Homo-oligomer: A and B are copies of this chain.
Amino acid sequence: MNVLTRTFKEGRTEVVRIVGGDFFEALQKVLEEKDIKMGKVSFIGSFKKVKVGYYDDKTQSYVGIEFNEGPYEVIAGEGNISMKDGKPFPHIHVALGDHQGKMFGGHLMEAEVLLVEMFIEVLEGQPLERKPDEETGLTIWK
C-alpha cells in the first residue's frame, strides 16, 4: 500500500453547460480560460457518441470501447483536474445508460456532447502533478 495525501482549500465552483461539440475540446478551453490547475469535476447530461477505455494491467495499456448508437444518458461523470506536462489535465470516468436503462462505461477517452451540466470545484493550493509510474504503467500523482 502506497498512500499520498495533500490538503487543499475549497475555492470557487464553476458551473459549466455545454451544448453540442467535442467534450474534451470544450473542457480544455474552460480550464485554460478560467486558469484551473486543480479541481474536482462532476457532471450529468447526454452524449451522442462516446469512447471509453478499460485499463489492462497485464499489457499496461487502455483498450478503447466505442458506443455509436446514441444518444446515451450520462448518468455520472466523475473525475479530477491536475497538472501534466505543464498543462491542466482532466482524468474522467463516465457511467452511461441506453434506451433500456442498461449501463456501461469506463475511462472517458472521447465524446460528442448533446448536453452536459458540470460542476468544477476549484481547489486552492499546490496542484498535484502526474508523472509516469513504472509499477502501474500509468501517469499518477507523485
Main secondary structure of the interface of A (DSSP, over half): strand
Query: Would you call B13 and A13 a contact (CB within 8 A)?
Result: no
Complex Cα–Cα for A101 and B2 (A): 28
What residues make up the interface of A, taking CB atoms closer than 8 Å to B?
1-22, 25-26, 29-30, 34, 38, 40, 42, 44, 46, 48, 52, 54-57, 63, 65, 67, 71, 73-76, 78-80, 91-95, 97-107, 113-115, 117, 119, 121, 123, 128, 133, 135-136, 138, 140-141
Q: Could you show 30 A-B contacts with beta carbons less than 8 Å apart?
A: A1-B21, A2-B21, A3-B18, A4-B16, A4-B17, A5-B15, A5-B17, A7-B34, A9-B13, A10-B11, A10-B13, A13-B40, A15-B128, A17-B128, A19-B140, A40-B42, A42-B42, A44-B78, A46-B55, A54-B97, A56-B71, A56-B99, A65-B100, A73-B107, A75-B76, A75-B95, A76-B76, A100-B104, A114-B136, A117-B141
